[in-house]
Structures are given as C-alpha cells and as structure tokens.
C-alpha cells in the first residue's frame, strides 16, 4: 500500500507552496499514526488498510478541524468519497475554498495520476511477463532455478533500494561525511549514495556467498541477486527487461560469471584501517543521526538473509555469520568522542517543523510552551520589521526531566524553529556532554570547548547532563569548561544558542552554582515521564517507521511490560530510550527466529510475534535494575 513515490510528489508540491498557503495543507506522512486513525472517526469512508493519507486540508484556524483528505486512492469529505480524479474537484463542495488552492491541488492530482499511469504500465508489463512464464510452465514444465517468487522479492527490495538512494542523494551533508571517512581510489568520482550502498552490498555478498556449496545451482540465484541490485543502482531493471527464460539462460553464461567476479572485487574507495571492517552506510547515517539508519540496516540484513537462504536451508555457520552481520550493522564504529551533529533538511518549512512537534507522542505542556515561544518570536520579528522596539531575545534554555522524555528531539525542533524565524542562519544541532567538553590536562579543555562552540555557530549547542560540569572541587576542569562556555556565549550572543539538559534537581543546583549561568539561562522547560499508553505508542511508531508489525499477542505482552515499568519507575527510568533499546533487542530476537525459516517471505520478515518479546519478569528486572544502578 505505501508508495514512497507518491509521497515524493507530495513533498515537491509542498516546496512550491507559498508561505501563507502552508497553514492550509498538511503532509500525511508527518502526521502521528494515532492522529490518522482518529480521522477515520470523522471520515467514515476512509479505509486505512487500503489507502495512505497523502495530505489533509484545513480551512479554519482550529488545529484539529479537517475539511477533506487526499489519499493514495480517493478524496474524502466527511459525507462523500470521490475517486482520485481531477474532475472530482469540480464538485460544488470545493467551491467554498480559495480558487488558487484548488488550482494547485489539481496540479498535484495531475502529477499523482501521471505516476500511477506509469506504474500501471510497468505492472501490466510485468504481469504479461508472468503470464508468459505460467504458460511456458504449463506447456514445458520447466523447473527454473530463479523462479517468479524470487524475482518478486527482488523487485520489491529493488524499489526500496532505489527510494533509499534517492532520499540520501538529496541530503547535502551525506557526501560531506563520506569525504571525512573514505580515501578515494579515483579522484574523478563524485560520491553518491549508490556508491556507498554498492560497497556495502558487495561486503554482504562476499561474507555470505562463500558459505554456499559452489557447485549447487542456488549460487546462480545469489549471483543474479548481486547483478540485479548492481544494475538497479544504475537505474536499470533487468527483471522487467528480460523474460524468465532469458534470465535463467543468462546466469549460466561465462560472460555473466566474469561480470559477477568484477563486481565482487570492486573497491570504489579505501576506508582505511579505522573503518575497513565496517559497513559504510550505517556508519554515515549513525554519524548524521539520520532517520534512515534503521531502514538501511534492515535492508542490508534482508539481503544477507536472502543470500544465505537461497538453497532453502540455513546452516549453523550461516546463522553465526548472519548474527555477526546484524551486530555490525546495528553498532557501527563512531570516531567522534562525545559529540554528535544533526543536519537540517533544507526542504522543511516552519509549518513542517511545527507539525512534527504537534505529532510527537505526549509532551503536551512542552508543545504549548514551544508554540507560545514561537508566536512571541514571530511578533518580535514583525515589530523589528516595522521599526518598533523589541525585547532582548535570550534564547538559551534549560530542559529539565528524566532521560528519554524527548529533550533532544525537542531541541532539534527548536533549533529548526529558530532558523525558520530568522534567529539562526543554519539551525543545526550539536549534541555533547561532559566527555565532549572536558579534557584531562591544563589548557586542553578550553580548546575542546572552543572547537565545539565554533562547530555550533549559527545553530544550537545541546549539552546533556550539563550538571556534571559543575564540581565542588574548583580545580576540576569542568568548571573551566563552564567559564569558557560563558565567555563564548557572550562573544557569539547573536550566533549561538545553548540548551542545557538534565534531571530537574541537579539542573536547578547547576544553574544556581554560577551567577553567569543564572543571568544567561531564563527559559525553563519541564519534561515528564511517559505514561504506559505513550510508551506503547512509541514502540508502535518504531515498528511503523521500520517496516515491522505487531501481532495482538505481542502487543498485549508489551503493554503489560510497560505497565510494570510505569508503576515501578524512579527518576532515572529511561522512558523512550528504554523503549528503543527494547525494540532493538526484540528485532534481534525476531531476526534470530526467522533466520531458520525457508522460504522467506515479506510477512515473515515484518511480523513480530509474542515469542519475540523477551520474558516479562526478566525484561522488567533488567531495565529497572539499570535505573537502580544509575
């Protein structure tokens, strides 16, 4: 059902909207899944199992009022369901809305329908190929090594691969990070996402292909997998261009085998000793804190699974290699110590950021406070534009709350808001803590703080557990870090925003420990523990974003675990951080369960069952024991 190409068309539509129009249109993909589900209560014809929400239209100022919804199949009003056709907008219902809005909506529908028509042609072509195969199967009873089922799985993976590469190529920070990690073997090459993905695919292939019996016919499937993905990264679809007979003949030729050997040995860049054993794509995405990290690791692991299961069996040695690959993908080596950078999406608007804020799970008091601050800053800019006096805008803030309650996430959004309102030029976020700011020798701490501040200019510096800098021992270098930071905040007061975060009591002590801190930090935001239902919603959001689904039994077991977490938590409970850790552990358990299943299917790869959830008592004891140790 989910079609990323349609969402890309919608993204392009939003880029063309004028600022004053962006209030009326909201992206479906930025809406919280719970918000989307709630819409079906008012739009009775909306069938969320059959269609995705592309955008909603809001004509009134009430935040939750929705006039109509555009999905991948229909246009929904509260009383009528129109097919996704341009003529539908000629209905008198749409006369009440501004003509320029409906005109732009018609252009969006033209683009969506053109893409649908092209995909229909591709589907018809592939269907005809399949019919040819069925007829040949009936007449000749051929038993192909590379069968239609395998081609169907490859085709779906190829589409996901292409979408991933397109998204990453639009990220200007992606290639910048590559150049800090790799050593080029050809200076003429301009690195793109396709190069990085191919390098990792070759690594997966070389780690798993050697485990096959080289005389077994199943190796032809594995070689074709590599050839197909190699061509797909170059924009070619050899499944659509060849019949199944041609494919099975093609893979037995000596020229095909030679080409596979060339691909297998390809090295586009040298990762050096530091990263030579790493998968490059997860490494880069982790460093960028990019939301494609989990999706990319899942993709590479699925490819490794397809290769090991090509012969219909999985040996103990293959299980061990798959586990090793999974661990390497999920835990890439990071070279920066104590500092993390988050890039800004150049295509985002202020409304996109505010929508993302409102769709966060829980955090209602924080949402209100951030919106009030945003409105205040908007008015200050308007007064400045009219030549009126403005209030001195001190944007430095204190975020107080237990871990895993969204402080870093909100800081990222706040940094973007400051950029869109014109208070910061870049709006990027630099995250650090004591380990990133304090050195062990005289003079080195000042240099570290200066380096971090310089990298944060025109953006936001987020210091987690900032209270750890203030020590009673005046000789501690943490106190030196505070003094250097205060001076830099004064030197760059129009170019730097600092947000300090940590437990409420400790942060109050931290701010009052130094008069300079008290005078510079006067905005306080309090983050509370997530409730049971919110913890479960966060887990389900991780599932949705990473192509997993929960069975009802698994959901009930998780709900019980989160109930116990909430009942027995203390101030150190990790909230969403615990949920993420549990999610990552559960998908590891799921991977180890499905690794022995052959043949593999998309449903098997996506489904989390009750068996994948670790024992209740063991889980509760493990995570609550950790908070006691804190």
Mean per-residue pLDDT over the chain, rounded: 85
Shared domain for 511 and 537, answered yes or no, is no
Contact in structure between 568 and 596 (CB atoms under 8 Å): no
Q: How far apart are CA 95 and CA 92, in angstroms?
A: 5
CA 151, chain centre distance (Å): 28
Which tokens belong to 384? Answer: 């400045």
Q: Is there a domain that residue 312 lies in?
A: yes
Q: Is there a domain that residue 157 lies in?
A: yes
3-class secondary structure, 478: helix
Shared domain for 491 and 558, answered yes or no, is no
490-533, pLDDT tens digit by residue? Answer: 999 888 999 999 999 999 999 998 899 999 998 999 999 999 99
Shared domain for 373 and 490, answered yes or no, is yes
Shared domain for 470 and 562, answered yes or no, is no
Q: How far apart are CA 337 and CA 396, in angstroms?
A: 24
- Hey, how many other C-beta atoms are within 10 angstroms of the C-beta on 329? 24
Q: Which of 73-77, 182-186, 567-571 has the highest mean pLDDT?
A: 73-77
Closest Cα to residue 344, out of 457, 421, 420? 420
Task: Return all residues near 619 (Cβ < 8 A) that are at least 6 apart.
Answer: 561, 582, 613
Q: What is the DSSP string of 66-103?
A: --EEEESSEEE-SS-EEES-GGGGGSGGGGGS-HHHHH
pLDDT band at residue 188, thresholds of 50, 70 and 90? very low
pLDDT at 142 over 90: no
Overall average pLDDT of the 279-294 stretch: 82
Closest Cα to residue 573, out of 407, 403, 426? 403
Shared domain for 553 and 478, answered yes or no, is no
Q: How far apart are CA 146 and CA 128, in angstroms?
A: 18
Domain of 26 in residue numbering reads as 9-108
222-239, pLDDT tens digit by residue? Answer: 999 999 999 998 888 888
pLDDT band at residue 135, thresholds of 50, 70 and 90? low
Domain limit, last residue, from 330, 361, 384: 330
Shared domain for 520 and 544, answered yes or no, is no
376-411, pLDDT tens digit by residue? Answer: 999 999 998 899 988 877 899 999 999 999 999 999
Q: Is there a domain that residue 402 lies in?
A: yes
Shared domain for 512 and 611, answered yes or no, is no
Domain limit, last residue, from 526, 554, 586: 526
pLDDT at 617 over 80: yes
Q: Is there a domain that residue 340 lies in?
A: no
Q: How far apart are CA 625 and CA 621, in angstroms?
A: 6
Domains held by the chain: number: 4
Task: Return all residues near 581 (Cβ < 8 A) that are at least 6 apart.
Answer: 574, 623
CATH value at residue 562: 1.10.8.60
CA 614, chain centre distance (Å): 25
Q: How far apart are CA 257 and CA 262, in angstroms?
A: 9
Q: How far apart are CA 492 and CA 460, in angstroms?
A: 12
| The model's pTM | 0.54
| Alpha helix (H) residue ranges in 421-503 | 434-437, 444-456, 477-491
Domain limit, last residue, from 108, 133, 160: 108
Q: Dmax of the chain from CA atoms?
A: 88
Lowest mean pLDDT among 74-78, 85-89, 284-288: 284-288
pLDDT band at residue 183, thresholds of 50, 70 and 90? low
Task: Return all residues near 451 (Cβ < 8 A) that are at least 6 apart.
Answer: none
Which tokens belong to 57? Answer: 């239209």
Shared domain for 392 and 271, answered yes or no, is no
Shared domain for 494 and 536, answered yes or no, is no
pLDDT of the residue at 206: 92
Shared domain for 242 and 390, answered yes or no, is no
| Alpha helix (H) residue ranges in 188-315 | 193-209, 218-232, 238-241, 244-250, 254-265, 272-275, 280-288, 293-308
Which tokens belong to 132? Answer: 């040819």
Shared domain for 513 and 546, answered yes or no, is no
Cα atoms in the 13 Å half-sphere on the side-chain side of 512: 6
What HEC string does 402-417 produce? CCCCCHHHHHHHHHHH
pLDDT at 189 over 70: no
pLDDT of the residue at 180: 60
Lowest mean pLDDT among 310-319, 468-477, 556-565, 621-630: 621-630
Contact in structure between 52 and 3 (CB atoms under 8 Å): yes
Q: Is there a domain that residue 588 lies in?
A: yes
Q: Is there a domain that residue 336 lies in?
A: no
Distances (CA, A) of 216 to 143, 145, 313, 314, 600: 15, 10, 12, 14, 19
pLDDT of the residue at 141: 42
pLDDT of the residue at 12: 84
Overall average pLDDT of the 265-290 stretch: 76
Peptide bond into 599 cis (omega under 30): yes
Contact in structure between 339 and 452 (CB atoms under 8 Å): yes
Overall average pLDDT of the 208-227 stretch: 87
pLDDT of the residue at 133: 52
What HEC string does 176-187 produce? HHHHHHCEECCC
Q: How far apart are CA 612 and CA 555, in angstroms?
A: 11
Contact in structure between 406 and 366 (CB atoms under 8 Å): yes
562-605, pLDDT tens digit by residue? Answer: 999 888 888 888 899 899 989 999 999 999 999 888 888 889 99
Q: What percent of the chain has pLDDT over 70?
A: 87
pLDDT of the residue at 56: 92
Q: Is there a domain that residue 98 lies in?
A: yes
Shared domain for 473 and 367, answered yes or no, is yes
Contact in structure between 491 and 449 (CB atoms under 8 Å): no
Q: How far apart are CA 11 and CA 256, in angstroms?
A: 40
Q: Is there a domain that residue 4 lies in?
A: no
pLDDT of the residue at 131: 56
- How does DSSP classify residue 438? -
């Amino acid at each position: 059902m989910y079609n990323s190409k349609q969402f890309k068309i919608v993204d392009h539509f939003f880029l063309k909207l004028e600022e004053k129009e962006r209030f009326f249109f909201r992206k479906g993909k930025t809406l919280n899944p719970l918000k989307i589900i709630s819409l079906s209560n008012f739009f009775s014809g909306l069938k969320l199992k059959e269609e995705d929400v592309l955008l909603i239209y809001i004509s009134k100022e009430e935040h939750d009022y929705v006039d109509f919804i555009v999905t991948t199949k229909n246009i929904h009003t509260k009383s009528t369901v129109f097919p996704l056709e341009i003529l539908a907008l000629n209905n008198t219902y749409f006369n009440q809305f501004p003509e320029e809005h409906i005109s732009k909506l018609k252009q969006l529908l033209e683009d969506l329908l053109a893409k649908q028509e092209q995909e229909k042609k591709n589907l018809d072509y592939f269907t005809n190929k399949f019919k040819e195969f069925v007829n040949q199967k009936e007449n000749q009873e051929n038993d192909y090594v590379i069968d239609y089922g395998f081609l169907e799985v490859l085709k779906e993976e190829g589409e996901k691969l292409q979408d991933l590469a397109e998204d990453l190529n639009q990220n200007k920070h992606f290639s910048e990070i590559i150049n800090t990690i790799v050593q080029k073997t050809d200076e003429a090459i301009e690195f793109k996402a396709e190069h990085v993905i191919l390098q990792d695919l070759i690594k997966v292939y070389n780690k798993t292909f050697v485990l096959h019996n080289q005389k077994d016919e199943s190796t032809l499937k594995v070689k074709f997998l590599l050839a197909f993905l190699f061509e797909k990264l170059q924009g070619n679809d050899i499944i659509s261009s060849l019949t199944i007979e041609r494919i099975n003949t093609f893979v037995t030729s000596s020229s095909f085998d030679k080409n596979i050997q060339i691909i297998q040995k390809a090295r586009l860049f040298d990762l050096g000793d530091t990263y030579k054993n790493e998968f490059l794509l997860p490494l880069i995405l982790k460093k960028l804190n990019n939301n494609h990290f989990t999706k990319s690791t899942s993709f590479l692991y699925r490819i490794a699974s397809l290769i090991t299961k090509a012969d219909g069996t999985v040996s103990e040695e293959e299980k061990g290699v798959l586990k090793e690959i999974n661990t390497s993908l999920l835990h890439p080596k990071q070279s920066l110590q104590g500092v993390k950078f988050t890039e800004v999406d150049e295509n985002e608007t202020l409304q996109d950021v505010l929508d993302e804020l409102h769709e966060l799970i829980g955090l209602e008091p924080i949402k209100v406070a951030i919106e009030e601050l945003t409105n205040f800053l908007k008015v200050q800019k308007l007064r400045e534009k009219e030549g009126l006096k403005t209030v001195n805008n001190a944007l430095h803030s204190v975020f107080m709350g237990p871990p895993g309650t969204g402080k870093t996430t909100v800081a990222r959004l706040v940094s973007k808001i400051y950029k869109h309102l014109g208070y910061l030029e870049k709006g990027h976020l630099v995250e650090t803590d004591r380990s990133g700011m304090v050195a062990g020798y005289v003079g080195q701490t000042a240099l570290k703080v200066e380096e971090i501040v310089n990298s944060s200019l025109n953006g936001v510096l987020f210091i987690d557990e900032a209270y750890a800098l203030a020590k009673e021992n005046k000789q501690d270098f943490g106190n030196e870090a505070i003094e250097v930071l205060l001076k830099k905040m004064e030197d760059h007061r129009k170019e730097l925003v600092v947000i300090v975060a940590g437990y409420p009591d400790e942060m109050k002590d931290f701010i009052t420990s130094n008069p300079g801190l008290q005078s510079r930090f006067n905005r306080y935001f309090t983050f509370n523990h997530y409730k049971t239902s919110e913890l479960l919603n966060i887990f389900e959001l991780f599932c949705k974003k990473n192509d997993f689904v929960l069975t009802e039994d698994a959901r009930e077991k998780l709900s019980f675990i989160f109930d116990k977490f909430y009942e027995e938590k203390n101030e150190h409970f990790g909230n969403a951080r615990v949920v993420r850790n549990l999610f990552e552990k559960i998908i590891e358990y799921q991977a180890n369960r499905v690794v022995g299943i052959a043949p593999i299917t998309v449903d098997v790869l996506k489904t989390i069952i009750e068996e994948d959830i670790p024992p209740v008592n063991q889980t509760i004891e493990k995570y609550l024991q950790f908070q006691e140790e804190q």
